[in-house]
Structure 1
Amino acid sequence: MKTVLITGGSGMIGSRLSKLLLDKGYKVIWLSRERFVKAQIPRYRWDYRKGEIDSDALEQADIIIHLAGSNLGEGAWTRKKKQKIVESRVLTSRLIIDTLIKLNKKPEIFISASAIGYYGMHTDEKVYNEDDFPAKNDFLSRTCKKWEAAAFNFTKELNIRTVVLRTSFVIHKNSHTFNKLKLPVRFGIGSPFGSGKQIFSWIHLEDLCNLYIKSIEDTSMEGVYNAVSPEHISNAEFMRCLAKEMKRPFFFPKIPSFMLRLFMGEASGMILEGSRISSRKIIDKGFIFKFNTASEAIKESF
C-alpha cells in the first residue's frame, strides 16, 4: 500500500481526491496547519513562512501531490496578496525539496497543480498546447512560470518524475466560485461577462481528480498537461447553458468590463479574457473524460 502525501488536502480538490485514493487502496496523509495524526486522514504540521515541516510526513511519502496555494480568485491582487500567491506556491515546494534532501528521501513522483493562466490573460483564436509560449507576460502567467519551475526542481535536484497539471475552472456543486456564478442566474439576472466572446475553459472535479490518479499510475506521464475539458465554449455560451440547466431566463445585458475591473482590478482578467486550450496531449495518453460538455458537467453539479 503506497502512501500519498497531499498539501492543501482539506480543499475541494484535495478532499475529493483523498476519498478516491482511499477507495483505491492508497494510504493518504496531509500536510496541514495543525498536527492531528489520529484523524481519519492523518495530518502533519508545516509552516512554510517559518521553514517548519514535520519530517514524519515526508518519510512516509511514496507520492507527493502539491495543491497548496493562496486562492487566486479571493480578493483583489494587492501587492501583499500577489506576494502571498507566489510564495505559497514556490516557497512550499522549496521547503519540501530541502527537507527531502536532508532526509535522503526520494519519492516516486511529485505532482503539482498549476493553472491555464500560464498562457496569459488573453483572448484570441489560437488553440494553445503545452509547448506554446504565453501570449502575455502578465502577473498570472509569471506566477505560473515560477510555480512550475519550482515543481521541476524535483526532477533537476532529485531526479523524481514530475507532472504538472495546468488546471482550468473547476466545476462542482461544492465549488465556492461556481456557486457564485450560479447565484445571479438563480435570480434571473445571469449574463455574460464583458464581451462574452472570451473562451471559458473548464474541467469537472471528477475528471480532474481522475487525472491526478492517472498521473500517479501511468509512469509514462511526465511534464506538463492541460487539465481542461475538450469543449471550447465562450463565456456567453457557458452562462446561457447554466441558465438553461437551471431553468432560468437569460436576457439580462452583459456585465460591462469596466465594472469588473473596478471591483476586481487586475484579477478581472481571469474572467474577461480566455483563449482555447488544448486537451489533446492528455487524450493521447488514453485519458477518457467523463464530462465532455458544460451541459453534462452542470447537470451533475446541482
Structure 2
Amino acid sequence: MKILISGASGLVGKHLIPTLKAKGHEVHRLVRKTPNSSDEIQWDAEKGLSEAEQAKLEGFDAVVHLAGDNVASENWSDEKKKKIKESRVIGTRVLVDALKSLQNPPKHFISASAVGFYGNREAEILTEDSAKGEGFLPDVCGAWEDESKKAERFARVVCMRIGVVLAKDGGALEKMLTPFKFGVGGTVGSGKQWMS
C-alpha cells in the first residue's frame, strides 16, 4: 500500500514508519518544514497545502493522521489548551478537506484520538461503544473524532483512541523512570490503579 502519515516526527510516527516499510509499504510523510526528500509533502495544519503539494496527495491508499500539539510538553494554561484542541480539530479539518477534493481520495483514513475521550470514569469498564465523558480532554477528542468522521464521504474511517505511549526513546516512560534513576522509585498506592 501507498501510505501517507501526518505527525510522522512524533513518537508514534517514528515507530510506525519503519514497521510499515519493513512490511513492504511505500510510506510518505506530511511535514511542516521544507521537504528534504521525495517522500515528504509540505503542509500547514492551519492553512492547508499549496496547489503543487495538493497534487502530490493523489494516489494514496491510506492516510494515517497523527499530527497534533504535544500534550505533555508544558503545563496546560488556557493558551496551551487552545493549542492542543486547535492543532487536532483544525488540522484534521484541513487534511480531510484536502483529501476530499482529490479525484482519487484514499480509501482508508486512520486518525489518532485518545482514551481521554472517556474522561475519568473511575472503575467503570469502558469499550469503544462507551459514551464520551465530560471535561476538556473528552471535548477535544470528541471534536477531533467528529472532524475525522467527515472523511467517511470517501474513506473507511478509524479513530484510534491511544492510551499512554511508552517507549525507550520518549513518551511517558521516560518521566516515569526518573524517580527510579535516583533510587527513590517504588509502588505508588496499592498498585491496582487504572492506567490508560
TM-score scaled to structure 2, two decimals? 0.90
State which of 181, 184, 189 in structure 2 corresponds to 1:186. Answer: 181
In structure 1, give the amino acid aligned to 2:176: L
Partner of 2:151: 154
Q: What SS does the aligned partner of 2:42 have?
A: strand
> Are residue 7 (structure 1) and residue 6 (structure 2) matched?
yes
TM-score scaled to structure 1, two decimals? 0.60
Note the 1:283-298 alignment, pairs <5 A.
none
- Give, in angstroms, the shift of residue 192 of structure 1: 5.4
Distance 1:97 1:61 in 2: 13
Count of residues paired in the alignment: 194
Partner of 1:31: 30
- Give, in angstroms, the shift of residue 159 of structure 1: 3.4
Does structure 1 conserve the Cα–Cα contact (< 8 Å) formed by 2:59 and 2:106?
no
- Give, in angstroms, the shift of residue 36 of structure 1: 2.2
Distance 2:14 2:183 in 1: 32
Q: What SS does the aligned partner of 2:43 have?
A: strand
> Are residue 45 (structure 1) and residue 32 (structure 2) matched?
no
Note the 1:120-159 alignment, pairs <5 A.
120-123=119-122, 125-134=123-132, 136-155=133-152, 158-159=153-154
Per the alignment, do residues 149 and 195 of structure 1 end up closer, same or farther by CA in structure 2, a change over 3 Å counting?
Answer: farther
The structure carrying a bigger helix percent of its residues is: 1
Q: What SS does the aligned partner of 1:127 have?
A: coil
Distance 2:129 2:90 in 1: 26
Q: Deviations over 1:70-112 (max 9, x none)?
A: 1112212111111111111111121122222333332110001
Per the alignment, do residues 18 and 95 of structure 1 end up closer, same or farther by CA in structure 2, a change over 3 Å counting?
Answer: same
Does structure 1 conserve the Cα–Cα contact (< 8 Å) formed by 2:41 and 2:56?
yes
Q: What SS does the aligned partner of 1:185 have?
A: helix
- Give, in angstroms, the shift of residue 14 of structure 1: 0.7
Q: Deviations over 1:206-248 (max 9, x none)?
A: xxxxxxxxxxxxxxxxxxxxxxxxxxxxxxxxxxxxxxxxxxx
Does structure 2 conserve the Cα–Cα contact (< 8 Å) formed by 1:29 and 1:57?
no
Distance 2:188 2:60 in 1: 43
Q: Deviations over 1:31-79 (max 9, x none)?
A: 001232526xx21111122333521441132110000011112212111
Distance 1:85 1:194 in 2: 30
Per the alignment, do residues 57 and 193 of structure 1 end up closer, same or farther by CA in structure 2, a change over 3 Å counting?
Answer: farther
In structure 1, give the amino acid aligned to 2:13: G
Q: What SS does the aligned partner of 2:86 have?
A: helix
Q: What SS does the aligned partner of 2:57 have?
A: helix
Distance 2:82 2:117 in 1: 17
Partner of 1:168: 163
Distance 1:121 1:74 in 2: 21
Root-mean-square deviation (CA), in Å? 2.0
In structure 1, give the amino acid aligned to 2:154: N
Mark the runs of 5 or more structure 1 residues left unpaired by the alignment. 202-302
